[in-house]
Amino acid sequence: MTSAAEPASGPSDISGTANADPSSPDLPAVQRRTLKVLMAAQVVAGIGMGAMLSSGGLLVEHLSGSEATAGFGTTLVTLGAALVSVPLAALSRARGRRAGLGAGWLTATAGALTVLVSAHFGRLAPTMLGMLLIGAATAANLQSRYAAADLAEPGARAGALSLVVWSTTVGSVLGPNLSEPGAAVARVVGVPDAAGTFVFSVAAFVTGWAVVHTRLRPDPLLLARAREAANGGQEAQRQGFGARMRAAARHVTGSPAALTGLGALVLGHAVMVSVMTMTPVHLAHHGASLGVVGFTISLHIAGMYALSPLVGKAADRLGRIPVILAGQGIMALATLLAGTSGGRQWPVGAGLFLLGLGWSCATVAGSTLLSESVGAAHRSEVQGLSDTLMNLVGAAGGALSGGLLALYGYGGLNAAAAVLVLPVSAFALYFSLRTRSTR
């Protein structure tokens, strides 16, 4: 493996194009370019994820003939993200962000192609394997946030991160609205209507890979590591991966603030995934068209991403805990509104928008609290650990959601999800009171 302090391609080059001198006056320009490239990749690749979210559950239900298994499509995507997060992080550490992010988008491309071929032949098992591989796109999406902060100055990291999160909005909101065009494409290529949007996913993931592979130069992580090595950070880089992960886990469990942030991230994600996964199935069973389903998921994704810069400002101004608590309250209101909707479509749409907004509050404030509660030497490992746990718990929520919908209906599913806001609210309040008492 190339040393952290040595360029990958020559004495004056990191990942092919940039001066490796960590004191280079061009670092601000490199950071601006990095943000533009990451945002562009997120926009186009987000179309692929958004298109898949509105159709994955419907496709699995079509192939299996079972409502209870419909949730496994999105569940497998979430599980796939959990499984590949650590390998992509390790690849990025060894060869840079271009390698890690690029591998994520290419793996997702292979997954979408697998879904299309399997759906053509009516095969459920390989379709679900394809869904698992598509999870790599979610992992690449999450790690793009960290790439945005690699070269950012300490006072600008949250702003850089929020811009990349926000850029996901464009593609993710547009993607679900491709359901009806996707059905037309499906008839041309000979797959079920719900599989047509995966054609758009293939094109989007390939484009995301191409943007990162050709334009993310110099590599921000390799350049940041060269900068860190020049400041005496080589020892941290020499630690083994397992040792770093164990140290990260110890730091989290030893910090009430970090545990609060992690709980908000993990359980908030479980609430969001479990309800969002089965909403297309619920709407379809009440006569909603693919266009209505796509629009509802677009509202949800807009709630997740579009307001993230404002949520970030609120977390900086009001504090992390108040925004985490606000997020729990918003998610509780969302499940109440959607869960009591019956066959009406507008309460479901409003509830899904609020669900996304509550998730945004929990995620932005929770990740900020988690990151600032651990030392810089372990921050990247803690962030990777949190992403893995988020996706594992989200996968469990998605897996259970189909059975809950079949047994207790959409209202029962929302009620079960609402229970998860209670432990986060209680622990956040306890931590807040404990902090005030200590002061």
Find the mean pLDDT for residues 210-227. 88
Q: Residue 139 and residue 135: Cα distance in Å, rounded? A: 7
Flag whether pLDDT at 300 surpasses 70.
Answer: yes
pLDDT digits 0-9 by tens, 99-140: 999 999 999 999 999 999 999 999 999 999 999 999 999 899
- Residue by residue, DSSP assigns 223-244 as HHHHHHHHTT-HHHHHS-HHHH
**Cα dist from 181 to 136, 173, 195, 300, 426, whole Å:** 25, 15, 11, 20, 45
Helix axes 256-285, 379-419, angle to 10 degrees: 50
Q: Tens digit of pLDDT for each residue in 21-50?
A: 444 547 889 989 999 999 999 988 888 887
Q: Among candidates 358, 342, 347, 350, which has minimal Cα distance to 418?
A: 358
338: helix, strand or coil: helix
Confidence of residue 437 (pLDDT cuts 50, 70, 90): low
CATH 1.20.1250.20 for domain 239-439, yes or no, is yes
pLDDT digits (tens, 9 = 90+) for 147-170: 887 787 766 666 677 788 888 777
DSSP codes, 10-42: BTTBBTTTB---TT-TTHHHHHHHHHHHHHHHH
Distance, CA of 171 to CA of 77 (rounded, Å):
18
Residue 192 DSSP SS3: coil
Burial of 302 per CB tally in 10 Å (0-12, 13-18, 19+)? middle
Express as a percent the part of the chain with pLDDT over 90: 30
Is it true that the peptide bond before 218 is cis, omega within 30 degrees of 0? yes
Domain locations along the chain: 24-229, 239-439
Q: Positive or negative CA dihedral for 257, 258, 263, 264?
A: positive
Higher pLDDT, 335 or 95: 335
Dihedral over Cα of 252, 258, 259, 264: its sign: negative
Q: What is the pLDDT of residues 270-286, one digit of tens each?
A: 999 899 888 888 888 87
- Give the domain 24-229 fold: Growth Hormone; Chain: A; (1.20.1250)
Domain 24-229 and domain 239-439, same fold? Reply is yes
| 436: pLDDT strictly greater than 80 | no
Phi, then psi, of 202 in degrees rounded to 5 = -60, -50
CA separation, residue 139 to residues 100, 206, 291, 319 (Å): 10, 16, 28, 28
Query: Which residue would you say has higher pLDDT here, 195 or 438?
Result: 195
